[in-house]
Amino acid sequence: MSATLIKGSEISKQIKEELKQDVAKLKEKHNVVPGLATVLVGEDEASKVYVGAKEKACKELGIYSERIDLPGNTSEEELLALIERLNKDPKIHGILVQLPLPKHINETNVLYAINPRKDVDGFHPVNVGKLMLGEPDFLPCTPHGIQQLLLRSGIETDGAHVVVVGRSNIVGKPIANMLLQKKKGANATVTVCHTGTKDLASYTRQADILIVATGRPKTITADMVKEGVVVIDVGVNRLETGLVGDVDFDSVKEKAKAITPVPGGVGPMTIAMLMYNTVHSAKKTLSQAI
């Protein structure tokens, strides 16, 4: 058996087309243009690529994009002052500070300074708390992308056993909380595994849906999954042979019912959901003004 590919590159295009129509309606009916500010501090090459991809997506959808590049020696006080300006700017509905930041800047202080109503990454504790309560304003982009992959691929989560490998604040914790909510596209039984888990394979073999976000290449091998599993591979690892995920794709796809490729799986969904959050923020701002 060879798995069906869950192609985030294709599903993200569907979402972007829907958003493009939403943006056009906001402009036509309300003269509102969703706006996203991206802040990049320093010269990290990977961060430049990510920010460039977000700029390109904004242009495709008709979203106003303001990119602010700052030198690596920018002080924390200067960055916080910039965020405060963006918090007050009515043209800006979403603020994204690209991580990682230089070591002399406290990331927590920066993320907490962003107005929760413009926190399109979904990292502010106000938005994390709302997610826990099942009443989110903004869902974190990568977990939201994973949920949309499952929904739009017709994969049933209701009553399924989902095993999440990884407990980061960016992916593992939020996707676990999202999938245990009593809602459509969720209502699963969720197990979270991590570096402290003993006999990891004994848990991953139980998974109906396995979500892997370890940051280590080919952590999950074929002997660690059961026949018919659905595998969502969040990892992107650059090896000499090219990009690989946290799952040994070639062996696991022979046992899985469906699996995300790397690249072209979860990655494109993250940017699509950032665009979604930006448009959603513009709509919320408009509804509060009316």
The residues annotated as belonging to the active site are 54, 98, 121
Question: Measured between alpha carbons, how far is 135 from 116 in angstroms, rounded to an integer?
Answer: 14
Q: Residues 88-117, buried b or exposed e (16+ Cβ, 10 A)? A: eeeebbbbbbbeebbeebeeeebbbbbbbb
Element (H, E) at 4: strand 4-5
AA identity, residue 79: L
Question: Measured between alpha carbons, how far is 229 from 259 in angstroms, rounded to an integer?
Answer: 8
Burial (CB count <10 Å: 0-12, 13-18, 19+), residue 152: middle
In the numeric block, the tokens 């490729």 are attached to 261
Q: Which two tokens stand for residue 14?
A: 């569907």
String of DSSP letters for 82-101: HHHHHHH-TT-SEEEEPSSP
Question: Measured between alpha carbons, how far is 187 from 76 in angstroms, rounded to an integer?
Answer: 41
Question: Measured between alpha carbons, how far is 119 from 277 in angstroms, rounded to an integer?
Answer: 9
- Provide, for the chain, the percentages of residues in helix, strand and coil under a 3-state DSSP scheme, each rounded to the nearest 5: 45, 15, 40
Pairing of strands 189-193, 209-212: unpaired
- CA-derived radius of gyration, the chain: 19
Phi, psi of 262 (to 5 degrees): -135, 120
